[in-house]
């Protein structure tokens, strides 16, 4: 599950000068309960095989499964071996594999970031002082900028915090620096809100609308982890789809993260005591030179063909992402981010579902399409490639069920995202079906719907592979057990997985897929 990509996506959707405020909750109409088809035989999940698979998949042998690396290829092969043994049908473009062409952008030594003041130049170190962001959703950021540095404080307009930071500042043609966290006088609730992607996006949007030539986000608070994520991409090379040689048709000004250090030439000399908006009397010149290396990664695609001669030509898609964030700065003696929960839990949960259904004597009416996506952590690249280069007709996919981080937190709590967050009610019928399946379980989950809102500040709806399908009008439900202290850290280990809960969530996903697959009607809005 990728927070940073969502933060940047929200930035582009928030280009207004609306002051930061509490979002009003969107009204939610209660969906009618759809008619469920008679249940098919539901085979049991093999818990011991699930535990063994995840223990291997999230081991150091896979080096954190970074997309575009040999380790990610080995992870795809691992899944394909399990599917072959289970007897599923290959549905990629090369057996179980679907090749996803990628371009890795590498920063050339001629890349420079210079701050000049009174004829003296200070060079900022790439990956240590600054970490530029090259791609924002479908947009690219400019590779050069220069201008006078203006410090915009926290770029907030919040009267209760005595902040009106952008008032009176001339941003046009300037490189604007601001603190991405919350002021020291903010309480914990306000701080959490101001550090969310949505609220940060509003600040970025206001600065862009002011005509800034570039933006420098000081990575304070929760953004420290985002700086580390971008710095890691700087070191390994940022990924994008395709050869990456064509000129981008849509661009935004240069955006970069920076480390907030006392004495930084990007900050007032009196910071942190002095956080007032002000012109810094310094000039930034930034030039990025990129080299490109072609690489590739692989989605894994498998099919369990349905029994109905007509309905078997349509598909219920089940998805997870097989990649993670690779090798990170060492924490103690560990530097491999194994991603046991993110998304080893979803990936191996899907393997367990596929194994169980393939062994069942009864097939569902519709076909089930299993897709393990690559490159989710790099911006949902594998799922975007699949929906634009599908190995089955994309309009034959009636629903997509996405599993991302399903093995942690309270035993009976589960988050479902999509039925309320998706536009035009396109996932409401599917959500009601999943609710009815959950209610019928011997031990139902307590469904947390906090994230299932288009207005939730964390914008979880945008943060995993289901979104690539939802953008094309496909009903989706995203199953997750939520974030935790080990998210995107080397401490996301198998020893912390609740295998009983992982098994139960996998069973709910399997039962949900069967409920949709055995219905005559697609789970469309109003049906």
Asked if residue 184 lies in contact with residue 144, where contact means CB atoms within 8 angstroms, the answer is no
Q: What's the first-to-final CA gap in the chain, in angstroms?
A: 31
Q: Sketch out the chain's domains with CATH numbers.
A: 38-104+293-517 (3.40.630.10), 109-288 (3.50.30.30)
Distance of CA 149 to the CA centre of its chain: 32
C-alpha separations of 50 from 55, 374, 408 in Å: 8, 21, 15
Contacts of 448 (CB under 8 A, 6+ apart): 413, 414, 415, 416, 482
Inter-axis angle of helices 499-517 and 47-57, nearest 10: 110
Q: Report residue 519 CA to chain centroid gap.
A: 31
CB 443 within 8 A of CB 504: yes
Using the CB atoms, write b or e for 391-414: b if 16+ within 10 Å: bbebeebbbbbbbbbbbbbeeeeb
> From CA 292, how far away is CA 237, in angstroms rounded?
9
Place of tokens 């009416």: 365
Instruction: Please give the structure tokens belonging to residue 208.
Output: 């862009």
pTM of the model: 0.85
For tokens 């991603």, what's the residue? 339
Structure tokens at 180: 């991405």
Tokens (6 digits) for 189: 């609730």
How does pLDDT run along the chain (527 residues), one tens digit per residue?
665 555 555 555 544 333 333 333 334 444 456 655 555 678 999 999 999 999 999 999 999 999 999 999 999 999 999 999 999 999 999 999 999 999 998 999 999 999 999 999 999 999 999 999 987 656 789 999 999 999 999 999 999 999 999 999 999 999 999 999 999 999 999 998 898 888 888 898 899 999 999 999 999 988 888 898 888 888 888 888 887 555 555 788 999 999 999 999 999 999 999 999 999 999 999 999 999 889 999 999 999 999 999 999 999 999 999 999 999 877 788 999 999 999 999 999 999 999 999 999 999 999 999 999 999 999 899 999 999 999 999 999 999 999 999 999 999 999 999 999 999 999 999 999 999 999 999 999 999 999 999 988 788 999 999 999 999 999 999 999 999 999 999 999 999 999 999 999 999 999 999 999 999 999 987 55
Burial of 434 (0-12, 13-18, 19+ CB in 10 A): buried
Residue 41 has a pLDDT of 74
3-state secondary structure of 101: strand
Q: Which two tokens stand for residue 493?
A: 């280990």
On whether the CB atoms of residues 178 and 154 are closer than 8 A, the answer is yes
Q: Which of 376, 302, 305, 361 is nearest to 100 (CA)?
A: 376
Q: Calculate the dihedral angle through the C-alpha atoms of 422, 311, 514, 46, rounding to the nearest 10 degrees.
A: -120
Residue 211 · residue 173 · CB < 8 Å: yes
């Amino acid at each position: 599950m990728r927070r940073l990509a969502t933060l940047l996506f929200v930035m582009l959707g928030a280009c207004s000068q609306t002051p930061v405020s509490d979002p009003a909750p969107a009204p939610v109409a209660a969906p009618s309960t759809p008619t469920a088809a008679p249940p098919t035989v539901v085979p049991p999940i093999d818990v011991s095989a699930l535990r063994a698979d995840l223990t291997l998949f999230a081991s150091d042998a896979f080096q954190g499964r970074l997309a575009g690396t040999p380790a990610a290829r080995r992870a795809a092969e691992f899944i394909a071996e399990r599917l072959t043994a289970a007897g599923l049908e290959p549905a990629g473009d090369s057996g179980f594999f679907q090749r996803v062409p990628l371009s890795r952008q590498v920063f050339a030594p001629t890349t420079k970031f210079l701050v000049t003041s009174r004829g003296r130049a200070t060079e900022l170190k790439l990956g240590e002082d600054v970490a530029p962001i090259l791609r924002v959703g479908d947009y690219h950021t400019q590779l050069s900028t220069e201008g006078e540095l203006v410090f915009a404080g926290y770029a907030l307009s919040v009267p209760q915090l005595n902040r009106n930071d952008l008032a009176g500042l001339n941003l046009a043609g300037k490189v604007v620096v601001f603190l991405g966290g919350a002021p020291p006088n903010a309480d914990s609730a306000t701080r959490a809100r101001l550090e969310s992607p949505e609220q940060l996006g509003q600040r970025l949007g206001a600065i862009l609308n002011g005509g800034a030539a570039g933006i420098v986000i000081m990575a304070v608070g929760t953004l420290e982890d985002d700086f580390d994520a971008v710095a890691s991409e700087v070191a390994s090379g940022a990924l994008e789809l395709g050869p990456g040689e064509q000129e981008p048709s849509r661009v935004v000004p240069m955006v970069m993260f920076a480390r907030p250090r006392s004495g930084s030439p990007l900050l007032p000399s009196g910071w942190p005591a002095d956080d007032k908006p002000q012109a810094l009397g310094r000039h930034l010149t930034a030039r990025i030179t990129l080299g490109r290396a072609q690489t590739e990664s692989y989605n894994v695609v498998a099919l369990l063909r349905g029994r109905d001669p007509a309905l078997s030509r349509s598909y219920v898609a089940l998805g997870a992402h097989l990649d993670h964030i690779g090798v990170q700065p060492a924490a103690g003696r560990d530097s491999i981010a194994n991603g046991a929960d993110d998304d080893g839990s979803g990936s191996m949960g899907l393997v367990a579902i596929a194994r169980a259904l393939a062994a069942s004597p009864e097939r569902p009416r519709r076909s089930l399409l299993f897709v393990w996506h690559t490159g989710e952590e790099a911006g949902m690249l594998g799922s975007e490639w699949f929906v634009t280069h599908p190995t089955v007709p994309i309009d034959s996919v009636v629903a997509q069920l996405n599993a991302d981080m399903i093995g942690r937190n309270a035993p009976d709590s589960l988050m479902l995202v999509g039925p309320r967050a998706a536009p035009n009610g396109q996932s409401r019928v599917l959500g009601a079906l999943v609710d009815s399946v959950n209610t019928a379980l011997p031990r139902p989950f307590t469904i947390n719907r906090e994230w299932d809102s288009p207005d939730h500040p964390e914008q979880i709806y945008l943060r995993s592979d289901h979104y690539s399908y939802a953008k094309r009008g496909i009903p989706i439900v995203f199953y997750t057990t939520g974030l935790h202290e080990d998210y995107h850290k080397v401490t996301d280990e198998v020893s912390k997985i609740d295998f009983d809960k992982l098994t139960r969530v996998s069973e709910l996903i399997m039962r949900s897929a069967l409920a949709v697959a055995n219905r005559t009607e697609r789970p469309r809005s109003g049906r």
